Amino acid sequence: MIRLRTVTALAAGTVAALAIGGTALAAGTDDPPGVEMLPDGDVVAAPSPSSFPSSTAPTREPSPSSSAAISLGDAKAIAIKAAGGGRVTDVERETEHGRAVWDIEVQKGAIEHDIDVDRTTGDVLRHRSERDDD
C-alpha cells in the first residue's frame, strides 16, 4: 500500500514538472531578446516604423483610437514595403491574438498580400500572399 502511494506521488510529481517545463518552453523564454516570432516559429522581419515619413495627406481611419501609435498612413507604407510594392486595396482595424493591428491588403500584380501591422509598434505580425485569380 505504501509502495503504491509512493509510485503515485512520484508519477504526479513528474507530470507536474513536465507541465511546468512545457509551459516555460511554450512561453518562448529561449528566444533571443528583440527577435519577434510568429506562432509557427518563423522570425518576423519588420521595417522600423520610424523609417517611414508620416503621411501629409488626410487619411480615413475607420474608427480612430487615441491608443494607436502607428497612423493609418504609416501602416500603409509599412505594408507596401513588406509586400515589395503595390497598392492598398483594403484596410481594417482588428484585434489578433490580443494585439491591436491594422489588417491591410496590398495588391501587387496578380498577387494579393494580407498583412497585419501592429498598431502600437509598427511590427509586421503576419504576411500572407496568394494569387488573385479574379
Q: Could you list the pLDDT tens digit for every one of the 134 residues in the chain?
A: 677 778 787 777 676 666 676 655 555 444 445 545 555 555 455 444 444 444 443 344 444 444 558 999 999 999 999 999 999 999 999 998 899 999 999 999 999 999 999 999 999 999 999 987 76
Co-location of 95 and 61 in the same domain: yes
CATH number of domain containing 68 = 3.10.450.40
Global confidence as pTM: 0.49
pLDDT score recorded for residue 6: 80
CA distance 129 to 64: 27
CA distance 29 to 42: 16
Q: Residues 19-39, buried b or exposed e (16+ Cβ, 10 A)?
A: eeeeeeeeeeeeeeeeeeeee
Co-location of 20 and 56 in the same domain: no
Co-location of 71 and 108 in the same domain: yes
Q: How many domains are there within the chain?
A: 2
pLDDT score recorded for residue 25: 52
Strand order across the 99-108 sheet: 87-96, 99-108, 111-118, 124-131
Nearest to 77 by CA among 112, 102, 96: 102
Q: Considering the domain boundaries, does residue 36 fall inside one?
A: no
pLDDT score recorded for residue 114: 96
Co-location of 63 and 24 in the same domain: no
Range of the domain at 10: 1-30
